[in-house]
Every structure is written in structure tokens, then in C-alpha cells.
Amino acid sequence: QSALTQPASVSGSPGQSITISCTGTSSDIGRYNYVSWYQQHPGKAPKLLIYEVFSRPSGVSNRFSGSKSGNTASLTISGLQADDESDYYCSSYASSGTFFGGGTKLTVL
Amino acid sequence: QVQLQESGPGLVKPSETLSLTCTVSGGSISSDSSYWSWIRQPAGKGLEWIGRIYTSGGTFYKTSLKSRLTMSIDTSKNQLSLKLSSVIAADTAVYYCARGMVHAIDAFDVWGRGSLVTVSS
């Protein structure tokens, strides 16, 4: 089983919305609703943004939302802010373990 | 508030064993979650899940690392440990321990700050 596929980079202007995709297979994203999203600033540990496809942990802004269709999950960030500039990773449960995406660098223009 | 702190040698020679400890503070390792994971990240690269250990002591390892990996849990010390044998340069990474979120599947809501391990002679 391989890592999940994410675009290497996305960009957007302050106030805009962006979506990051995460493509897996019928063995991971397509089979289970156990997709998580993490934000990682340089030199810092990842921070959980979304779990179980669309749920947000307490304290995470509702500007972050998750969804899934078939083998692809998506993270949408609305009302982009400068501090959203970061790396974002998806992950999915599979019977053979947990798999992360390669990461997407978000640039806020 | 639960906090995690990884510790261990920052430099390991090729073919030797990498050993890391994760100390849980502000909570109980046996009651604050049902499972804990180790995740690593080579410099400039993405995250790689290594394996998980349940508070019962059961383990589940990444298939490609299974033959070299040992995870354990010491509830009396509130610590997790990771041992990776026969290390090679490709094992050089920042190693994180992370808590499996309560009442959620396969989500990590608390992370340590990470411990950089370099494999080099």
C-alpha cells in the first residue's frame, strides 16, 4: 500500500477559499470514514484539524472543513488568513495500517 | 493537559539499534487513550506512520518495518518506547510520538515535539 496522493502545492489570497485533495484507494479512503487532516508549521509538530472525514476537534476554527467522495477526501479552508500558510497532511486508516499523504504546501499570496 | 516528550540519542551508527522514549505528562498513559503511535518525518519530507501500541500492550507495526521494530509501554512510568534495529541512513528522521484520540478512530490529537535521530558513522 502506498502513501496517499496530495497536490504538492496550492495557493490562495487572503479571504478566499481553497481545497486540498487527498486521493487514496478502495482499501483506505474509499473503504473507511477515518480520514484525518493535519496542519504543520515549519519546525513544529503536526496539529489535528479534522478527524473521521469531517469532524473538528475542540478549538479548531470552523474555517476548516472536510469531506469525502469515493476514494478522495478534501480539506477546504475558507476565509484564508496569513497564518494558514503551512504544510497540510491527510491520513487514512487501512487494515494494513495508517497512511499519510505526501503533504501540500499552502501559500497565502 | 496531556503533553508528550520524546527523548533518546540523537546519533545512531548504521546497523545499530535506535531507541527512543516518549514520556507522558499531565495524564495517564493507560486511561487517557486506548492507543499511542510513533510517526517519523525525514527532513523536508512527509509524515510516515511507523506503528501503534495499545494500552493493553498489543502492537501493530508498519509492514515494511515490522521485522526491525519493537514498541512497548510502561504504565508505571507513563512511558512508551520505540526500538528500531539494524538502522540505515534512510531511518534518519524526526520521530514523533502521538496520542490516539479518544472516541475517534486513527486520529492523533496530541503530539510530542519530536526527536531528531541521525543515522551516521
| pLDDT at site B102 | 80
* B1, three cell numbers: 493537559
- Phi–psi pair at B80, nearest 5 degrees: -110, 155
| pLDDT at site A1 | 64
| pLDDT at site B56 | 87
Q: Which residues lie closer than 8 Å to A99 by C-beta, 6 or more apart? A: A1, A2, A3, A4, A24, A28, A91, A92, B49
Shortest alpha-carbon distance between residue B57 and chain A (Å): 17
Q: Which helix (H) or strand (E) holds B11?
A: strand B11-12
- Which residue, among B52, B62, B69, B106, would best test binding to A if mutated, counting the most A CBs under 10 Å from its CB? B106
Residue B56 exposed, middle or buried by CB count within 10 Å (0-12, 13-18, 19+): exposed
Q: Average pLDDT, whole number, for chain A?
A: 96
Per-residue pLDDT for B119 more than 70? Answer: yes
Under-50 pLDDT residues of chain A = none
Task: State percent of chain A over pLDDT 70.
Answer: 99
**CA geometry: angle at B46 spanning B40 and B49, to 5°?**
40
| pLDDT at site B103 | 83
- Note whether B2 contacts A: Cβ–Cβ < 8 A: no
